[in-house]
């Protein structure tokens, strides 16, 4: 086992492996985390547990129902004395343990969810999640914790969310695993997407010895930049005072797909290489459109302005590019969303996390109305987000020397039709790592997934066996040159996703088969 950065001190009773009688409080009563105070430890046997794939929030695998799972649940509540936080960690210890440990990431403002433990436990992993100190009834609502008082950020809980709780949970989870099974896990893995992807990147950068292998999908790193960038289309709508309907915005996306779909040689609703698409939304202004919902209308210049803003990304008043845009085949409903009444009056509906970030962490005022932001104020908001929070939330340090030295391996994959997080931000990070280390591909690889939306969904090829590729890399030294992937909606199609900077290119034959494509740099 690799050495952890924070020691967890405890004495181990002699326990038989996965004994049902060991799922008791006394078995874990001697646990203690340096720098923290354990407030409570509780245990609960889990028998014949089942969970529908629809309830599953664990990332990076194909939909699968969990049935007849037996495990021991251990819940630990602790605090960092003097910091007035309360953090909860939950560990599931399956009876069919595969000698591996897994930390599972969260999504949005949620640091981790109990519903993400069943799938890895069903595969034999001892699995851990943390709530990051967000103990309110609605953990997706930062209004409950973001401000210590009006004008003052709760830095303790933000730091817990950003990094500290991740390290704590990993250390606690490993110790609980050893206490239960009587031996250390042979290998440790992290799996997350979105916020969970950012958490994985943070662990590789700040706590590089915690995990042997990290899956950091569609990572919400570059937080200080991409979160305010998500508000850009809403700003454009607010400034022009016009809000296109969701129907029109979706029609712009379909028009872009129609224009660029066959650039790769296959008409399949997927833009394999979004960088090759140069569709101009103003070219269809004045033309009629029909939506998949049955509605219809005429393309407007205000709608074109919103679509173009989403695709090109934010810039300053002087024209300096601030961040990237989304791909042409990404749904505009993610960050350019609007809501319309029955009489056709529409208003902007900003992505919640972006709106919350500006209100609570930049303005530091829960009552701040983002609809009144001026063009100049937006530039200032973007700058302040970077200046105040990059070191806390950015998770984008390109120096992975310690992770490399520790022997860690990391795989990141990102759907190219992601409607929330900009794929080019992920590719830019890899480029920055490679600039500092030409050997980066020996321990860190990034894969683009054409046609896949945020973490899953869309008509594209989803890499649902990516965990197997990571395990094979860590434990057997098999470097993943490609990721096997398939579509999960409609007719099943397969493809091998390419390691960036290579791109997937159709070479002829049956477009449903992986052998009809190759990776070209």
Among 336, 368, 391, give the residue marking a domain's end: 391
In this structure, the answer to whether residues 65 and 147 fall within a common structural domain is yes
In this structure, the answer to whether residues 241 and 332 fall within a common structural domain is yes
In whole angstroms, how far apart are CA 333 and each of 212, 343, 351, 450?
37, 20, 9, 19
Distance CA 95, CA 116 (A): 18
In whole angstroms, how far apart are CA 164 and each of 90, 284, 353, 392?
16, 50, 21, 11
440 located within any domain = no
At 13 the pLDDT is 35
**Residue 157, both tokens:** 């809980």
In this structure, the answer to whether residues 242 and 155 fall within a common structural domain is no
**Residue 109, both tokens:** 């403002």
81 located within any domain = yes
At 21 the pLDDT is 53
In this structure, the answer to whether residues 163 and 249 fall within a common structural domain is no
Domain tally for the chain?
2
At 20 the pLDDT is 47
Question: What is the residue-level pLDDT of the chain in tens, covering all 521 positions?
Answer: 443 333 333 333 333 344 445 899 888 988 989 999 999 999 999 999 999 999 999 999 999 999 999 999 999 999 999 999 999 999 999 999 999 999 999 999 999 999 999 999 999 999 999 999 987 656 678 999 999 999 999 999 999 999 999 999 999 999 999 999 999 999 999 999 999 999 999 999 999 999 999 999 999 999 999 999 999 999 999 999 999 999 999 999 999 999 999 999 999 999 999 999 999 999 999 999 998 777 889 999 999 999 999 999 999 999 999 999 999 999 999 999 999 998 889 999 999 999 999 999 999 999 999 999 999 999 999 999 999 999 999 999 999 999 999 999 999 999 999 999 999 999 999 999 999 999 999 999 999 999 999 999 999 999 999 999 999 999 999 999 999 999 998 889 999 999 999 999 999 999 999 999 999 98
441 located within any domain = no
Among 341, 362, 391, give the residue marking a domain's end: 391
192 located within any domain = no
164 located within any domain = yes
In this structure, the answer to whether residues 54 and 168 fall within a common structural domain is yes
Collect all residues with Cβ–Cβ distance below 8 Å to 416 and sequence separation of at least 6.
Answer: 271, 274, 327, 329, 423, 448, 449, 450, 451, 452, 460
**Residue 147, both tokens:** 């401000």
191 located within any domain = no
Distance CA 410, CA 492 (A): 28
At 3 the pLDDT is 35
Strands 147-149 and 152-153: antiparallel
In this structure, the answer to whether residues 262 and 135 fall within a common structural domain is no
In this structure, the answer to whether residues 233 and 291 fall within a common structural domain is yes
**Residue 257, both tokens:** 């797909």
In this structure, the answer to whether residues 47 and 110 fall within a common structural domain is yes
Among 169, 185, 201, give the residue marking a domain's end: 185
In this structure, the answer to whether residues 258 and 119 fall within a common structural domain is no
pLDDT tens per residue, range 244-255: 999 999 999 999
Which active-site residues does the annotation give? 194, 418, 454
332 located within any domain = yes
Collect all residues with Cβ–Cβ distance below 8 Å to 287 and sequence separation of at least 6.
Answer: 298, 299
Distance CA 469, CA 472 (A): 5
Nearest to 332 by CA among 419, 260, 261, 272: 419
> What is the 8-class DSSP label of residue 462?
B
In this structure, the answer to whether residues 377 and 257 fall within a common structural domain is yes
**Residue 26, both tokens:** 């006394």
Domain with 24, as residue range(s), is 1-185
220 located within any domain = no
In this structure, the answer to whether residues 120 and 242 fall within a common structural domain is no
At 136 the pLDDT is 64
């Amino acid at each position: 086992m690799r050495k952890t950065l924070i020691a967890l001190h405890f004495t181990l009773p002699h326990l038989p492996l996965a004994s049902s009688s060991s799922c008791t409080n006394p078995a874990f009563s001697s646990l203690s985390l340096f720098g923290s105070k354990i407030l409570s430890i509780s245990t609960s046997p889990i028998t014949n547990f089942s969970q529908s794939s629809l309830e599953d929030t664990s990332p990076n695998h194909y939909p699968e129902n969990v049935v007849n799972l037996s495990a021991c649940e251990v819940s630990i509540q602790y605090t960092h004395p003097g910091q007035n936080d309360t953090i909860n960690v939950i560990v599931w210890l399956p009876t069919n343990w595969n000698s591996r440990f897994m930390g599972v990431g969260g999504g949005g403002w949620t640091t981790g969810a109990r519903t993400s433990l069943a799938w890895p436990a069903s595969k034999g992993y001892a699995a851990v999640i943390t709530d990051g100190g967000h103990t309110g009834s609605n953990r997706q609502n930062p209004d409950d914790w973001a401000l210590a008082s009006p004008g003052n950020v709760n830095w303790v809980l933000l730091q817990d969310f950003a990094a500290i709780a991740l390290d704590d949970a990993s250390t606690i989870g490993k110790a609980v695993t050893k206490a239960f099974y009587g031996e250390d896990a042979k290998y440790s893995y992290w799996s997350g997407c979105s916020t969970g992807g950012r958490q994985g990147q943070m662990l590789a950068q700040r706590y590089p010895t915690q995990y042997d292998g990290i899956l950091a999908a569609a990572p919400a790193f570059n937080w200080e930049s991409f979160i305010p960038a998500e508000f850009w289309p809403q700003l454009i709508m607010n400034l022009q005072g016009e809000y296109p309907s969701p129907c029109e915005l979706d029609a712009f996306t379909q028009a872009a797909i129609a224009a660029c779909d066959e650039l790769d040689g296959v008409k399949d609703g997927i833009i394999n290489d979004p960088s090759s698409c140069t569709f101009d939304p103003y070219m269809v202004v004045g033309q009629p459109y029909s939506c998949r919902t049955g509605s219809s209308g005429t393309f407007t210049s205000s709608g074109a302005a919103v679509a173009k803003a989403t695709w090109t990304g934010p810039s300053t008043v002087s024209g300096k590019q601030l961040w990237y845009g989304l791909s042409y085949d990404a749904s505009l409903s993610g960050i350019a969303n609007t809501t319309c009444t029955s009489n056709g009056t529409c208003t902007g509906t900003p992505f919640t996390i972006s709106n919350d970030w500006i209100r609570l962490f930049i303005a530091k005022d829960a009552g701040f109305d983002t609809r009144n932001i001026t063009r100049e104020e937006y530039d200032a908001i973007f700058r302040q987000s970077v200046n105040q929070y990059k070191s806390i939330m950015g998770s984008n340090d390109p120096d992975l020397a310690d992770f490399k030295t520790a022997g860690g391996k990391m795989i990141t994959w990102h759907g190219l039709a992601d409607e929330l997080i900009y794929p080019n931000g992920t590719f830019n990070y890899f480029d920055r790592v490679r600039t500092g280390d030409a050997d980066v591909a020996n321990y860190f690889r990034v894969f683009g997934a054409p046609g896949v939306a945020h973490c899953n969904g869309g008509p594209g090829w989803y890499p649902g066996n990516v965990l197997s590729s990571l395990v094979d890399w860590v434990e057997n030294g098999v470097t993943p040159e490609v990721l096997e992937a398939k579509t999960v909606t409609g007719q099943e199609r397969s493809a091998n996703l390419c390691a960036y900077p290579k791109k997937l290119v159709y070479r002829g034959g049956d477009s449903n088969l992986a052998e009809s494509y190759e990776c070209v740099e």
